[in-house]
Structure 1
């Protein structure tokens, strides 16, 4: 394993060393564990002892624990869902491949328009119902109910599902997609018991009383405080899970999470904050991280559909206003001010180390004189000032950076453009930005271990709720389609470079921090495996022997 001296280094330096070590270790998950206080470097993949509990800190409460209303991202509900439902398949960030879990296989025919999902036999939900092909078909079909406004809906447009036998589901796509398995991993992975989908009332009740086939089942949920899951004695993997229970605690003080773990007040957190990750390493905690596409950004509402289906006029439909805001900001300055210079200033929406993108196609930024000129043009030299709604989740870091943006834009626009901050708890914020589209600009985080399907949905004009900006560029749509068709990395890279060129022209958002997801935990915790964009698998995690 990789040894780290206890001094601050940039996140990319850590990742570079982690990648070298992972190649030497036969592509084990990127798990750059910090040196413990005893001077040893604990193996995050050791076999745990049976029993014990795990306290996990997350920044906000869940909107629901059903797969249709929950946010399956790394710092929201993704790990909660993985504990309750387990997964059909999972994307391994060490190899870039999609691996089976409850599914025995997910394979396509030669032209990738026909896929077959084969389940493992003998899996049951915690209420006794069978996990069979019909259960998966029903779970996926439920994503298509418009009243649920599920993000999974976009994965199933035009898809025909046919139960072939008890364990096999035939999936006919409207067009070839060589990366459909990644779509399943991100959007269709969590399968609830058919009994929770029998009626609209049952679906509604499952938000707070979920039933899955995962390693844990819910015991209690105290709103805005914690939720506790108990071991599922009928879990399909014999002898798993190792833990007796898992408690997820709401902790809005995200910067203090490493300190709390160090002091024994919690065991683990999942974070996308480079400062917190650096603090954890300095404290000798165990850290495992994965670099991702996407990043932390300010996203502009260019005119996306609202909850009523209409497209309202939005100030950021004006490309000059978007460019003015982007040129007001500097990713390097933001990194120095708010991440102590140990983060990774972004150069665009693709990870700078990704083989699928070009680092030469950096997004424009940091041209204050040109920003002022554009602000004056948009506001007619201040005679038509603008007031804009900037939606922000209620966290100390998000509020502080938002205040900086507000001050900088007011300064360079000579007071002609004002950002009005709307700060809300995470479930309300997600509802405003992802579902209602009721904002002009927002802080947004995108995490994608692979561009498929997250970047496709975020950028494609038919991306549904995931396209929070309302971005619509036919050239980008076509490039995304070509990338989706191909498994060949060179062809995918060519397509994504075309996407980069168009994004630099249109500027529907400004990414200022590259994306990373990491677990931070007490060295006594082992069996830690991140998947997708930084979720935890709960069948293997536990307390060290």
Structure 2
């Protein structure tokens, strides 16, 4: 296997763009809808989906996406439902998928992925007679080529793969053996995203990349900033899909997209605005809800010479800021807030295991102690310039000032400017961001941002102790062990405070009552090979 290269700066910017936009998705209207759902209504999974609907053949599903992917290449595009993951899954499928109802990874394009007793060796078995849409065979060599390509070109999960996988051997026409450095019981979750999207060799044969996969649909054409069209793959391994065509449309304004859905002009839509998500849940709209842990955060630069190099400053930031107040100012109180890495909506949540509390008095003492050792109290919080981002920035600034900081909220003209400051220049004190720890597979994102070898922490603090806590979480094989590891991780986080955590983000894929057969996957992706529209 060819060793992976360091991810390219251009791709790092794409990753950062996805994380920043994840942290600040809201409409400009922060007026809370009366009688909105409680925290309990934000339980992840399929919501309001009728059980007695009958499938029909033919028709088109039009899905209003959250953001348009620049390229249908799982190496270059973040594989999540909000960034083009559902479009790419239509072309490539995934070797494994996350079943939200079963709370388990199950086979999709692959026949099985089976570990040994201690989860250090896994055998990937492929289905027989599967072909790419160009007629070539999808076998073990094709999978190895696709994974090597992903690693060589620095795909999003290349670092976590190289940190863990020591060997990949083709052991038969349809089998591969994967050897790991350490136990990883949830290793199969990695095959629900980019690494699990098998790209055909023919995709790279010409001067420009062509999306060729073995998925249920074939890319037809696109009109940039407007729509993308797919036709069915008649040779899909599980039979020709029921749909005739699949369309994705790109409506930037979330309110306009919600209105378009309400008028019946799109069959499905992806919503992240907390006010609109609450409205959809209140109206009992069918859909698939995922809660993204630590989706609203503030990165804290811990490099020498920056305020966050002092742990007392980092702890004071978290305890000075009230997540409830920030959310009330920015979103009218819609959604769920919490300083916990694993809030009430998480399957890893435990009563009594919480983030640092809102405690202005203790924050004030910490700031005073830091000042006694030379800290001048000055700190700048980077934000975008939308009305919602301004509301967050001003709310955070006011609360930091109240405990003795001299805070400034700096509103940059664009998200690109913000990313340049954080990722390229590394010149910031605090910045809006999203850790995006997804319950289906949180380890990969934990590693990327918070492990010392992850490569996408952008100046946030790490430590040998935090590395070990993350690896302990990775190795936990039972529910009991996972909860114990989550508790230890939260305790360690409260001591180190790599970032300010304000709450999770709700991501909701909604569909019309006449749509059915939608399957869940990780990262708020949906699979549409069994989907239909009456």
Structure 1-normalised TM-score?
0.81
Q: Determine if contact 2:452/2:462 at 8 Å carries over to the other structure.
A: yes
Residue 238 of structure 1 and its aligned partner are, at CA, apart by 1.1
Number of residue equivalences: 499
Alignment of 1:246-325 (within 5 A): 246-283=246-283, 285-303=285-303, 314-325=306-317
Match of 2:47 in 1: 32
Aligned mates of 1:108, 1:185 — CA distance in 2: 16
Residue 365 of structure 1 and its aligned partner are, at CA, apart by 4.1
Aligned mates of 2:386, 2:513 — CA distance in 1: 27
Alignment deviations for residues 279-330 of structure 1 (CA, whole Å, 9 cap, x no partner):
1234453233244544322222334xxxxxxxx8644333233233323321
Match of 1:37 in 2: none
Match of 2:133 in 1: 126
Give the direction of change, closer, same or farther, for the CA distance of 1:261–1:446 in structure 2 (3 Å limit).
same
Q: Determine if contact 2:75/2:194 at 8 Å carries over to the other structure.
A: no
Residue of structure 1 aligned with 2:524, choices 526, 531, 534: 534
Match of 2:232 in 1: 231
Alignment gaps of 5+ in structure 1: 1-5, 19-29, 34-41, 304-311
Aligned mates of 1:216, 1:280 — CA distance in 2: 29
Alignment of 1:191-202 (within 5 A): 191-197=198-204
Q: Determine if contact 1:152/1:187 at 8 Å carries over to the other structure.
A: no
Report SS of the residue matched to 1:346.
Answer: coil
Residue 116 of structure 1 and its aligned partner are, at CA, apart by 0.6
Report SS of the residue matched to 1:520.
Answer: strand
Alignment gaps of 5+ in structure 2: 1-32
Match of 1:154 in 2: 160
Match of 1:348 in 2: 340
Give the direction of change, closer, same or farther, for the CA distance of 1:415–1:453 in structure 2 (3 Å limit).
closer
Q: Determine if contact 1:11/1:274 at 8 Å carries over to the other structure.
A: no
Aligned mates of 1:8, 1:417 — CA distance in 2: 35
Alignment of 1:93-492 (within 5 A): 93-145=100-152, 148=154, 150-157=156-163, 158-197=165-204, 205-206=208-209, 209-240=210-241, 242-283=242-283, 285-303=285-303, 314-354=306-346, 356-371=348-363, 374=366, 384=376, 386=378, 388=380, 390=382, 392=384, 397=388, 399-405=389-395, 407-408=397-398, 411-412=401-402, 416-424=406-414, 440-450=430-440, 451-465=442-456, 467-468=457-458, 470-492=460-482
| CA RMSD of superposed structures (Å) | 3.2
Q: Determine if contact 1:31/1:44 at 8 Å carries over to the other structure.
A: no
Aligned mates of 2:386, 2:76 — CA distance in 1: 22
Alignment of 1:52-71 (within 5 A): 52-71=59-78
Aligned mates of 1:84, 1:265 — CA distance in 2: 24
Alignment of 1:73-84 (within 5 A): 73-84=80-91
| 529-538 or 506-515, which deviates more | 506-515
Q: Determine if contact 2:289/2:509 at 8 Å carries over to the other structure.
A: yes
Give the direction of change, closer, same or farther, for the CA distance of 1:45–1:481 in structure 2 (3 Å limit).
farther
Give the direction of change, closer, same or farther, for the CA distance of 1:337–1:419 in structure 2 (3 Å limit).
closer
Aligned mates of 1:148, 1:223 — CA distance in 2: 25
